Structure 1
């Protein structure tokens, strides 16, 4: 058949209730990272209903361990990978067109504290054109959109010339090692990829941030508070290190700029990199001078620096305090780099998949988009950094991501499905019967 692009758009619009129903089914599964199995079963059943044969597998950490993009995620350390499958299905092309992957993660962050929500976190409630719930935007909305985009093409009898890979992966919120990296190593290596994270269609994401976690531990000397002069308060020593890290954060913010971050949010000007002290632990009794203090931190930055360069700056900041403090000079703080360890990536804006994605996003919305990204760690980096596969972000609009009352704009979800379907037509090509 001759592909009628208008028919594709009209099918998605006319059947949007099915798209919303699929998203509701996904959101109702409480798939906090580490518990992705039940939501993947929803995906498996949906794929099978579309006549697809899903490939379902659990990651093998030992096979991934030697990869340059590997690090041991905190969720793997806590849960392992048993019962946490990835799912992929390949729609084989009817010609020799290039292949395309639609990929998305099904894990979400915790909704706690649930008392802060005015909507049920797992309820998928619809109100005023929005669906509320954990993962509606990040990123089960995008997953539902690309599955429904394929459904539209299938129902209309469209035959793509190139292969289309549909895949849902685990633990992106914790780094994606057992998810997208596992899929790539399993052989799902397309000519291009789209990950529909919630980046406000018609904007197109072309970059991700570097992200690392680190832990600093300071030793003090315990003593009874009444004889505090006999001890050394580890919290006081840690305060000096906190100040040094805060100074480093301010210095980096002042000198680092990256336009795609501020294209997305002008309020991010002067804040395109960040060093956050997120956890502090010290002491166990008010009457005891604490003998140890620990902080856990995240540092994120846009393209332009490597992990090694950023790590050296953090370690130098800690060392600057150590050298000027007699106690710390003799009892050196320790720095442990753990969990998230990702370099940033940037996809060239002249890549053909980027052009198709932006043109189609702007066409279906009637609005002009911008190239954005560089402020969050994303799965796209695996495609770009290690397999030379151009990857782009094209997804719906939502707010309160990782916060209370997360929601996705349903109109933007429809637009995302439409833009994804059209981009598959453009990239993969179609087989036409005259």
Structure 2
């Protein structure tokens, strides 16, 4: 095989820095909150089409995925379905039968509270080497880096022996089965994959957390507040359940640990698992004893427990309160799991694709790689858990993911594109 001049390839990507910033700016402007991914996908498809690639855009088939162990109905699917929410993929075909690689990223972002922002979240702002905007770091920045990496390979006429697929997907922020899982089931099953989630280059992500949502409906009995003795306040009963869940959270934190999560973020020490009641909905009038309260929560945990084990603990905490309460023992709370239903995963860091990505990341950044992950759910689990396809996270540095003033370091976007391009060359091979 002929060798590629890595200095030339890195320099070509560096020269595309301004284009990378403009592309990321355009993606942010599409306001691609989960459920409304189409405008961002149109931007991606246009860039892929300009490379002369055949673009495959398809809408997920929930019925066809339903029997897969990684599938669940996401909140956005329940609200909007998958109509007009395409995934996009295009393959740069290799000139031989070398190993194939997919570079993947999600285009959906989370909503914003604009009052919290110092910048316009939908109009990228560049300041002190950072680019601010919703999705700049999670993970439209990674998507832009993927596209620029592939464009640089094309501009230099680098012929890869193996196929290189660019793939952008929907609803990762909501769990991802309509995205990466749909792509895998469509046949996009490479020898290895990389998702450009913001791992904090040269750091590489190698694990994800299990994540599940639950809902508890707590019954009471309505009455006029002046005749409160005739009612049962559902808020008061829900408070008992909240305290029990909070106690379970503290108990789990005391006995569960996961070193990769702490390596990635030292502040996670003692917080590798988390149980959060995020929604409390109950009551409709100050003078009425509320007859119903709904609690909705999320539990996340690192590799080491199954979903079944975690479900049993949460359900037992609610059941124990009900059995020891005079009212709830006769009027049982309704418990259900909904939305997010993701199992955790852990990738062996000795995998060759991880080694290659690490070597390139360290060479390009001059830093030392730390392997981290396990504190949040992500799409890598679909490759690693269900298809035995090694897939790390390799992406830029930034901060305030899902928060106000989310930003990404522009230098790291360039370094990510360089790392991805060189890793594609090393993995897929180049032709004589």
Q: Shorter-chain-normalised TM-score: which range?
A: over 0.9
Q: Distance in 2 between matches of 1:224 and 1:155?
A: 74
Determine helix, strand or coil for the equivalent of 2:392.
strand
After superposition, where does 1:104-143 map in structure 2 within 5 Å? 104-111=105-112, 113-143=113-143
Determine helix, strand or coil for the equivalent of 1:136.
coil
How many pairs does the alignment contain? 431
Deviation at 1:157, TM superposition (A): 1.2
Determine helix, strand or coil for the equivalent of 1:391.
coil
TM-score by length of 2: 0.99
CA deviations 1:197-233 (Å, max 9, x no partner) are 1110000000000000000111011111111111111
Whether the aligned pair in 1 keeps the contact of 2:16 and 2:148 (CA below 8 Å) is: no
Deviation at 1:176, TM superposition (A): 0.6
After superposition, where does 1:212-227 map in structure 2 within 5 Å? 212-227=212-227
Q: Which moved more, 1:298-307 or 1:14-23?
A: 14-23
1:409 counterpart residue number: 409
Determine helix, strand or coil for the equivalent of 2:327.
helix
CA deviations 1:284-322 (Å, max 9, x no partner) are 001111111110000000000111000000011111111
Determine helix, strand or coil for the equivalent of 2:263.
helix
Q: Distance in 2 between matches of 1:386 and 1:398?
A: 30
2:418 counterpart residue number: 418
Q: Distance in 2 between matches of 1:5 and 1:272?
A: 39
2:281 counterpart residue number: 281
2:80 counterpart residue number: 79
Deviation at 1:59, TM superposition (A): 0.7
Whether the aligned pair in 1 keeps the contact of 2:192 and 2:391 (CA below 8 Å) is: yes
Deviation at 1:423, TM superposition (A): 0.7
After superposition, where does 1:90-105 map in structure 2 within 5 Å? 90-105=91-106
Determine helix, strand or coil for the equivalent of 2:328.
helix
Determine helix, strand or coil for the equivalent of 2:84.
coil
1:388 counterpart residue number: 388
Determine helix, strand or coil for the equivalent of 1:326.
coil
2:338 counterpart residue number: 338
User: Which 5+ residue runs of structure 1 have no aligned equivalent?
Assistant: none
CA deviations 1:63-121 (Å, max 9, x no partner) are 1111111101110111111111000000111122111000000000011x201111111
Determine helix, strand or coil for the equivalent of 1:201.
coil
Determine helix, strand or coil for the equivalent of 1:424.
helix
Q: Distance in 2 between matches of 1:386 and 1:163?
A: 22
After superposition, where does 1:302-321 map in structure 2 within 5 Å? 302-321=302-321
After superposition, where does 1:11-410 map in structure 2 within 5 Å? 11-111=12-112, 113-410=113-410
TM-score by length of 1: 0.98
Deviation at 1:369, TM superposition (A): 1.5
Determine helix, strand or coil for the equivalent of 2:329.
helix
Deviation at 1:140, TM superposition (A): 0.4
Deviation at 1:2, TM superposition (A): 3.8
CA deviations 1:301-346 (Å, max 9, x no partner) are 0000111000000011111111211111111111110000000001
Determine helix, strand or coil for the equivalent of 1:330.
coil
Determine helix, strand or coil for the equivalent of 1:392.
coil
CA deviations 1:243-277 (Å, max 9, x no partner) are 11001000111111101100011111000000000
Deviation at 1:18, TM superposition (A): 1.2
Q: Distance in 2 between matches of 1:137 and 1:176?
A: 18
Determine helix, strand or coil for the equivalent of 1:165.
strand
Determine helix, strand or coil for the equivalent of 2:168.
strand
Whether the aligned pair in 1 keeps the contact of 2:101 and 2:165 (CA below 8 Å) is: yes
Q: Distance in 2 between matches of 1:244 and 1:357?
A: 44
